[in-house]
């Protein structure tokens, strides 16, 4: 409390009564944080229009906070948190806008204004969630069930002061007495039921007339303390939660979340995944067909140079097909880099012409995801490097080793191909070599990286990097 007062006095022009209201609202932040399962803050306007000061914060009890340290007393800048500054200036809520935290994490913010008796904005309540946040449904229900008693007490607190704070939440909240009569409904609930066609006011109606799933008041009151259901009604898909407080006075809480948009996105992702799988499956099949045609053509070719060229082309096509095979299995646009390289090696071993040489190829190092474009480029480069080692590095050797090592970096990652062959004079490399030109072109133009080679009588190392 003292910290809020001191910060407001130091950074803002708020009056004593305004600061007192900020203090009152701050006491409810832990409640909002637990209900929304998010980090919640109060920011107040400073004398600089492009900055706000964080005066209070609350972290959820039942799940980890996104923050390692407290940010109270730190500034929120317009370029990082446009939602907070927008709401401070305009006095209207902002929902689900991207922002960057003081710890440089990407989040989404929902912001609501705090106004004094003169309707002047004196601060904002900010609800922050991880931009990539996906909560396991069963685990989420379990956490809510474990905190039922605390949740009901929090909801009772929220309905005080005319229920103003509950309007900052995305959930519709309705509270029933022991006889099933609705005695409180927040503005979200009022709007939802109007959209569902209800003309009467919710407050004063019986549970059995308001309930939108198959439950009756008797069933709920005689059942478990916590219950969740999902219902499709009109054009909405709604998640309904019931929390029963059995201590005096007996209260039943009904919370309704509109999950229509989430379900539509979930359906779209499934359809997109299926389409991705089918597309990559067809590309893989077509590439394998082309490779088969090249293989057939090479058998009929009489010129040895032509045969080698056709087989090299076949190998390159199959390296691309290997990436599409993995993408067809995953149904997404990202694949693990090790899986790609191992699949390329598998194709090389199946189709390489140097069957008499006993060459061991292994993949070591880091494993991480890359998108399909990067994966395809890497597969071509690695295929070319391995094929080149197989063809030239082990002349006069019955056995050999090739190691592909992956190193992940923050901005650039690298891949090296190392063999223990005879080596060669780098200066004598034919600048018109098709394989070398393919590798250089892909590394520089597609991967935005550099290519380096080291060779001596103990072997050759080729390393290239690429932007993450």
Per-residue pLDDT tens digits for 122-138: 999 999 887 655 434 44
Structural domains present in the chain: 2-130 (3.30.450.280), 137-258 (3.30.450.20), 263-467 (3.30.565.10)
Report the alpha-carbon distance of residue 353 to residue 316 in Å, rounded: 14
**Cis (ω within 30 of 0) for the bond into 359?**
no
Question: Residue 163, SS3?
Answer: helix
CA 210 and chain centroid, separation? 36
Q: Of 38, 99, 35, nearest to 66 (Cα)?
A: 38
pTM over 0.85: no
Q: Are 415 and 344 in contact (CB under 8 A)?
A: no
Per-residue pLDDT tens digits for 319-328: 778 777 777 7
Question: Residue 375, SS3?
Answer: helix
Residue 143: predicted pLDDT: 41
Q: Are 112 and 124 in contact (CB under 8 A)?
A: yes
Q: Of 311, 381, 286, 284, nearest to 341 (Cα)?
A: 381
Q: Are 464 and 415 in contact (CB under 8 A)?
A: yes
Residue 464: predicted pLDDT: 93
Supply 389's token pair. 């080692």
Supply 95's token pair. 């929902």
In the block, which residue shows the tokens 């910290």?
3
Measured CA distances, 300 to 117, 307, 310, 315 (Å): 90, 9, 11, 18
Residue 403: predicted pLDDT: 94
Question: Residue 426, SS3?
Answer: helix
Residues of the chain whose pLDDT is less than 50?
134-153, 161, 163, 356
Residue 152: predicted pLDDT: 47
Residue 135: predicted pLDDT: 39
Residues 6+ apart with CB under 8 A from 22: 4, 8, 14, 42, 44, 55, 56, 114, 122, 123
Q: Of 308, 358, 88, 196, nearest to 205 (Cα)?
A: 196
Question: Residue 455, SS3?
Answer: strand
Per-residue pLDDT tens digits for 347-383: 877 766 555 468 888 999 999 988 888 888 898 899 8
């Amino acid at each position: 409390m003292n910290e809020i007062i001191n910060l407001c006095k130091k950074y803002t022009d708020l009056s004593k009564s305004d600061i007192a209201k900020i203090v009152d609202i701050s006491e409810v932040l832990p409640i909002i944080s637990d209900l929304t399962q998010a980090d919640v803050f109060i920011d107040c306007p400073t004398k600089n229009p492009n900055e706000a000061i964080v005066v209070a914060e609350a972290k959820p009890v039942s799940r980890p906070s996104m923050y390692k340290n407290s940010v109270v007393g730190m500034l929120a800048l317009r370029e990082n948190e446009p939602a907070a500054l927008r709401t401070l200036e305009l006095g209207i809520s902002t929902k689900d806008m991207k922002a960057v935290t003081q710890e440089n994490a990407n989040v989404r913010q929902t912001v609501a204004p705090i106004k004094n008796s003169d309707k002047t904005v004196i601060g904002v309540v900010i609800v922050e969630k991880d931009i990539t946040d996906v909560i396991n449904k069963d685990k989420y229900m379990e956490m809510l069930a474990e905190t039922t008693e605390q949740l009901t007490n929090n909801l009772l607190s929220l309905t005080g002061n005319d229920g103003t704070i509950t309007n900052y939440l995305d959930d519709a909240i309705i509270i029933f007495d022991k006889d099933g009569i609705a005695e409180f409904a927040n503005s979200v609930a009022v709007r939802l039921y109007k959209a569902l066609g209800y003309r009467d006011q919710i407050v004063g109606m019986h549970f059995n007339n308001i309930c939108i799933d198959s439950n009756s008041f008797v069933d709920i009151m005689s059942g478990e303390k916590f219950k969740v259901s999902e219902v499709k009604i009109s054009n909405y898909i709604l998640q309904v939660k019931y929390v029963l407080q059995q201590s005096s006075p007996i209260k039943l809480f009904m919370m309704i979340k509109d999950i229509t948009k989430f379900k539509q996105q979930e359906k779209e992702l499934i359809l997109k995944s299926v389409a991705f799988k089918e597309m990559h499956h067809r590309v893989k099949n077509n590439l394998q067909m082309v490779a088969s045609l090249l293989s057939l053509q090479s058998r009929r070719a009489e010129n040895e140079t032509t045969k080698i060229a056709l087989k090299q082309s076949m190998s390159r096509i199959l390296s691309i097909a290997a990436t599409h095979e993995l993408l067809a299995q995953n149904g997404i646009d990202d694949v693990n880099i090790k899986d790609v390289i191992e699949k390329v090696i598998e194709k090389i071993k199946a189709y390489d012409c140097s069957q008499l040489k006993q060459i061991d190829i292994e993949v070591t190092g880091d494993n991480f995801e890359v998108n399909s474009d990067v994966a395809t480029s890497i597969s071509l480069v690695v295929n070319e490097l391995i094929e080149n080692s197989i063809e030239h590095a082990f002349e006069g050797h019955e056995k050999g080793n090739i190691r592909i090592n992956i190193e992940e970096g923050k901005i650039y990652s690298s891949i090296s191909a190392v063999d223990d062959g005879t080596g060669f004079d780098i200066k004598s490399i034919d600048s018109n070599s098709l394989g070398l030109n393919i590798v250089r072109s892909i590394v520089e133009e597609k991967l935005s990286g550099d290519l380096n080679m080291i060779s001596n009588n103990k072997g050759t190392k080729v390393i290239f990097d690429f932007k993450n």
